[in-house]
Amino acid sequence: MAAELRQLGLEVRLQPVAVTHWIRGAETATLVEYPGMVPGTTQKIVLTALGGSSSTPPDGLTADVVTVNTFDELTALGRDKVAGKIVLFNELFDKQKAAAGLAFAAYGETVRYRGAGAKAAADLGAVAALVRSVGSIDYRLPHTGFSFPAGIPAGAVTAEDADLIVHLASQGKVRMHLTLTPQKLPDETGYNVIADLKGVEHPEQIVLVSGHLDSWDLGTGAIDDGAGVVIAMETAEILQRLHLRPARTLRVIAWMDEETGGAGSKAYSTEYSADFAHHIAAIESDAGAAHPLGFDVKAAPAAIDALRPVQAVLQSIGATVFQPSTYPPGADIAAMSDAGVPAFGVMQDGRTYFNYHHSAADTLDKIVPSELRENAAAMAVLAYALTNMKDPLPR
Ligand SMILES: [Zn+2]
C-alpha cells in the first residue's frame, strides 16, 4: 500500500497500531450421540472458530448440545439447563431481506449472536458456544468473524449443520465432541497507511477516503475489504491521472484492525481528534465491490442539499442515492462521524455480499472489474467535489 501510494505521488506515513494476534488451530466437531444414531457411526459437523475464541483442551471436549434461537430463549433456559453444555444459537439470516436489498439489515439481526453469543452462554456456565454461520447462501461453508472473548471456545457451524443439530435436538439428546485450538499470542504491531495528496489552497483541510487493510484468514479478503482499500487508492490515482489538483488535501487511509476491535481507527482518533474540525468529510468503502448505488450519509440535511451537483455527475453510473443515515456509515470513520465530521459510506449492491463475507470464498474472482471501476469513480467524484467545493459542508 505504502509503495503504491508513494508511486502515485502521495506523502505516505505508517502509523503504528498494536493489534491482537490470534491464530486459528484445529477445528473439528462430530456428533457422538443423537437420536437415530447407527451404532459405531458419528456425524461430522462443519465449523470454524470465531476470532477471539478460547481453546478447548488439545484433544477436545465432549458435552451435550442445547439449541436456542434467541438470547431470550437462552435466558429462559437458565443456568440449570445451560451449565456444562455447548450452546448453539440458531438465529436465521433473513435471505429475503438480503435479496430485496436489505442485506445489512439482515446481517445486523444475526451478527449480534456471533458477537455476544459466547459471552451470554459463558455467563450461564456453558462450556462452548456455537452460532449458525452468518451468511446468505448455504454451500455448507462456515463464516467466521469477531466474537467478544468470553473465556470459552466459540465457533460458527454451517447453516446445514445448524439445521441438522436443531432437528436432532428436537427429538432427544445430542452430544458433540468439539475441538477448537486457536491461540492468543502477544499483540503485534500493524499500521494504518496514511497518504496525503496535498491541497493546493487549504492543505490543512482534509477529505478522507478509506477502506480497511485487515481481513479474515479463511479467504483472501477481496470483498472485505481489499476492494475498499483499492477504491480509496484509485480515488487518488484518478485525480492524479486527470491532473486534478485538489484545493483541500485528499487523505487516503488503509485502516488496520477493523475486524477485531478497531485499534486502527482508535489510534487515528487518539492522534488526530483535535484536528477533526479540519476534517471536512470522511468516506469509507466497506461493503464489497458490487455496483455502487450511491452513499449512506451521516451529515446535516443541508450537506446533502449542497451535494445535488454531485448526484447529477453520478447519474451516468447510477450512483445517485444519498441516503441519510442515523448511524455512522463505516466502522473506521465512526469516531469522526460522532464528532460531527460529515461521513459517507459507499452503498454497494449488497445482495450477494454475505454469500462470501468472512468465508473461504471471499476471493478476488468475486469482484467484477467494471463494478470495481464504478466504485472508484463514485468515490472519486464525491471526494473531488468535497476537496474543491467553495465552502466546506455545513455541519
Ligand atoms: Zn469490512
Helix segments in 56-202, DSSP class H? 71-82, 95-99, 103-123, 159-169
Domains of the chain, by residue range, sit at 2-21+186-388, 25-181
Ligand 1 centroid to 81 CA: how many Å? 36
Percent composition of the chain: helix, strand, coil (DSSP 3-state, to 5): 35, 30, 35
Q: Do 146 and 50 meet the contact criterion of CB atoms below 8 Å apart? A: yes
Q: 262, 266, 282: which is closest to 345 by C-alpha?
A: 282
Residue 341 corresponds to which amino acid?
Answer: V
Ligand 1 centroid to 93 CA: how many Å? 18
Record the pTM.
0.96
Cα 247 to the chain's mean position, in Å? 32
Ligand 1 centroid to 36 CA: how many Å? 42
Ligand 1 centroid to 367 CA: how many Å? 15
Residue 321 corresponds to which amino acid?
Answer: V
Ligand 1 centroid to 66 CA: how many Å? 31
User: Cis bond leading into 72, ω under 30°?
Assistant: no
Is 3.50.30.30 the CATH classification of the domain at 25-181? Answer: yes
> Which three three-digit cell numbers place residue 188?
503485534
Residue 189 corresponds to which amino acid?
Answer: T
Ligand 1 centroid to 372 CA: how many Å? 16
Q: Do 247 and 387 meet the contact criterion of CB atoms below 8 Å apart? A: yes
Ligand 1 centroid to 62 CA: how many Å? 34
| Full pLDDT tens readout for the chain, 395 residues | 999 999 999 999 999 999 999 999 999 999 999 999 999 999 999 999 999 999 999 999 999 999 999 999 999 999 999 999 999 999 999 999 999 999 999 999 999 999 999 999 999 999 999 999 999 999 999 999 999 999 999 999 999 999 999 999 999 999 999 999 999 999 999 999 999 999 999 999 999 999 999 999 999 999 999 999 999 999 999 999 999 999 999 999 999 999 999 999 999 999 999 999 999 999 999 999 999 999 999 999 999 999 999 999 999 999 999 999 999 999 999 999 999 999 999 999 999 999 999 999 999 999 999 999 999 999 999 999 999 999 999 99
> Which three three-digit cell numbers place residue 66?
442445547
The pLDDT assigned to 218 comes to 98
Ligand 1 centroid to 286 CA: how many Å? 5
Helix, strand, or coil here: 177? Answer: strand
The pLDDT assigned to 364 comes to 98
The string of DSSP codes covering 95-111 is HHHHHTT-HHHHHHHHH
Residue 151: Cβ within 10 Å count = 10
Residue 231: Cβ within 10 Å count = 30
As a three-state string, the secondary structure of 297-332 is EECCHHHHHHCHHHHHHHHHHCCCEEEECCCCCCHH
Q: What is the DSSP letter of 124?
A: T
Sign of CA dihedral 196, 198, 203, 206: negative
65 CB-contact burial (10 Å; exposed 0-12 / middle 13-18 / buried 19+): buried
Task: Please list, in sequence order, all residues whose beta carbon lies within 8 angstroms of the beta carbon of residue 269, skipping any fewer than 6 positions away.
Answer: 335, 336
Is 3.30.460.10 the CATH classification of the domain at 2-21+186-388? Answer: no
Q: Do 264 and 17 meet the contact criterion of CB atoms below 8 Å apart? A: yes
Q: Exactly one of 237, 258, 259, 374 is catalytic; which is it? A: 258
Distance CA 27, CA 23 (A): 12
What are the start-end ranges of the E strands in 213-291?
A: 248-255, 279-284
Q: What is the DSSP letter of 364?
A: G
Query: What is the side-by-side order of every strand in the sheet holding 183-197?
Result: 11-23, 183-197, 248-255, 202-212, 279-284, 343-348, 292-298, 321-324
Strand partners, 345: 284, 296
Distance CA 79, CA 102 (A): 36
Ligand 1 centroid to 33 CA: how many Å? 38
Distance CA 262, CA 115 (A): 14
> Which three three-digit cell numbers place residue 100?
430485496
> Which three three-digit cell numbers place residue 168?
436432532
258 given a catalytic annotation: yes
